[in-house]
């Protein structure tokens, strides 16, 4: 399920209230070892890798709001205030006394469908880069989403809130038609205005108010992986891994090895593989070199789409101002 207000990496939106979930992990590859001269001039390899292995280290991150920011919190609060009014209008009388502050840091889940919270996977752009952490957690490095938590709602209320329907669900609530995207989707349209046109990236539907930034992010990643330097990096990393007794053509193959799935805790083999993976990234100068490729492409794409991206940013700023007005009136 998507989380209300959680906007980070390229994502697919679960319902049209602006909440999204990650589906495109950017576990990338790297280049050659840095020269002794460069090592002397820059960060320690481990420090540099850690600094660059964050979404904030990319130019396009500037066009994706921080889900933990005051502005994002204001939007979430306003969304639930308007959503509450909509639910009362649809005939859910109990919502008249709903304390929106108690739910504004949650996202709705259909009763009986709480998501499984696993730790497999990695939220960082380049996957494991710290050998010590890898030796402890393997590829089970996913951090719980601190911006919002799931909250169950009865099926009829869930459908009205989100506009998500199971087979046999009515599109009406107490004789009233449920708006597109449910009450929370309607609320987001009131805050942001009409959503942009739906786009598809690699067969995945992207909707919501930040889809352009996510689309460009995916495009930059795709272009970078086709660069000859990227392919050379794969070979360098793979050769390093082979010397350590592991046979993978690129880091993605290692991190999504089917042997790691279905376990709440990493096996010894997974830990050994992840540790070698992280060490080879450091030994080959993996992260800084590949990061430079993507940054170069992202800057080019930003230049070509600056007017649209600036419009997106202005839309977000107006939405935050409107959200603060809504929350101010509700006090």
Region label for 181, one of left (φ > 0), alpha (ψ between -120 and 50) or beta (otherwise): left
Whether pLDDT at 272 is above 50? yes
Whether pLDDT at 185 is above 70? yes
Least confidently predicted of 17-26, 226-235, 255-264? 17-26
What is the β-pairing status of strands 149-153 and 106-110?
Answer: parallel
Q: Locate 136 and state its tokens.
A: 């402890």
Whether pLDDT at 156 is above 50? yes
pLDDT band per the 50, 70, 90 thresholds, residue 261: confident
- Check residue 43 and give its pLDDT: 61
Whether pLDDT at 17 is above 50? no
Whether pLDDT at 306 is above 90? yes
Fill in the DSSP letter of residue 121. B
- Check residue 291 and give its pLDDT: 94
238 touches 264 (CB < 8 A)? no
Whether pLDDT at 53 is above 80? yes
- For residue 215, give Cα distances in angstroms to 10, 77, 274, 309, 321: 7, 27, 29, 12, 26
Whether pLDDT at 119 is above 80? no
- Check residue 113 and give its pLDDT: 79
- For residue 242, give Cα distances in angstroms to 231, 249, 254: 16, 9, 12
Q: What is the mean pLDDT of residues 76-105?
A: 96
pLDDT band per the 50, 70, 90 thresholds, residue 118: low
Whether pLDDT at 82 is above 60? yes
pLDDT band per the 50, 70, 90 thresholds, residue 233: confident
pTM score over 0.85? no
239 CB-contact burial (10 Å; exposed 0-12 / middle 13-18 / buried 19+): exposed
Top mean-pLDDT range of 55-64, 140-149, 269-278: 269-278
- Check residue 121 and give its pLDDT: 63
The label of the residue with tokens 């199971």 reads 166
- Check residue 263 and give its pLDDT: 79
Least confidently predicted of 21-25, 31-35, 76-80, 288-292? 31-35
Q: What is the mean pLDDT of residues 168-172?
A: 93
pLDDT band per the 50, 70, 90 thresholds, residue 30: very low
How high does pLDDT run on average in the chain? 83
Whether pLDDT at 190 is above 80? yes
List, in order, residues 6 or more apart from 225 with CB less than 8 Å away.
Answer: 28, 29
* CA 56 – CA 118 distance, rounded (Å): 24
Whether pLDDT at 92 is above 90? yes
Whether pLDDT at 329 is above 70? yes
Whether pLDDT at 10 is above 60? no
% residues pLDDT > 90 (the chain): 60
Phi and psi at 225, nearest 5°, equal -70, -15
* CA 214 – CA 231 distance, rounded (Å): 24
């Amino acid at each position: 399920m998507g989380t209300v207000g959680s906007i980070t990496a390229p994502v697919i939106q679960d319902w049209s209230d602006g909440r999204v979930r990650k589906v495109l992990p950017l576990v990338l590859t790297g280049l050659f070892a840095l020269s002794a001269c460069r090592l002397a001039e820059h960060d320690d390899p481990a420090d540099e890798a850690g600094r660059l292995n964050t979404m904030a280290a990319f130019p396009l991150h500037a066009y994706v709001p921080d889900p933990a920011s005051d502005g994002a919190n204001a939007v979430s609060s306003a969304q639930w205030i308007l959503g509450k009014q909509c639910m009362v209008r649809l005939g859910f009388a109990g919502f008249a006394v709903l304390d929106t502050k108690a739910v504004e840091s949650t996202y709705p889940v259909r009763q009986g469908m709480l998501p499984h919270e696993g730790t497999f996977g990695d939220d960082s752009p380049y996957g494991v880069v710290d050998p010590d952490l890898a030796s402890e957690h393997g590829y089970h490095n996913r951090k719980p989403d601190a911006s919002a938590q799931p909250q169950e709602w009865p099926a009829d209320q869930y459908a009205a809130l989100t506009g998500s329907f199971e087979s046999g669900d009515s599109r009406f609530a107490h004789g009233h038609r449920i708006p597109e995207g449910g009450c929370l989707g309607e609320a987001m349209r009131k805050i942001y205005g009409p959503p942009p046109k739906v786009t598809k990236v690699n067969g995945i539907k992207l909707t919501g108010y930040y889809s352009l930034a996510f689309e460009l992010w995916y495009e930059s990643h795709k272009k970078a992986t086709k660069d000859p330097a990227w392919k050379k990096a794969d070979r360098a990393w793979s050769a390093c891994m082979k010397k350590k007794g592991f046979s993978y053509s690129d880091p993605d193959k290692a991190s999504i090895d089917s042997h790691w799935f279905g376990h709440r805790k990493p096996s010894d083999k997974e830990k050994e593989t992840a540790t070698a993976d992280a060490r080879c990234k450091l030994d080959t100068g993996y992260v800084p070199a590949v990061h430079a490729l993507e940054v170069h492409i992202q800057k080019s794409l930003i230049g070509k789409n600056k007017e649209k991206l600036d419009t997106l940013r202005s839309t977000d700023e107006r939405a935050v101002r409107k959200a603060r007005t809504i929350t101010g009136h509700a006090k």
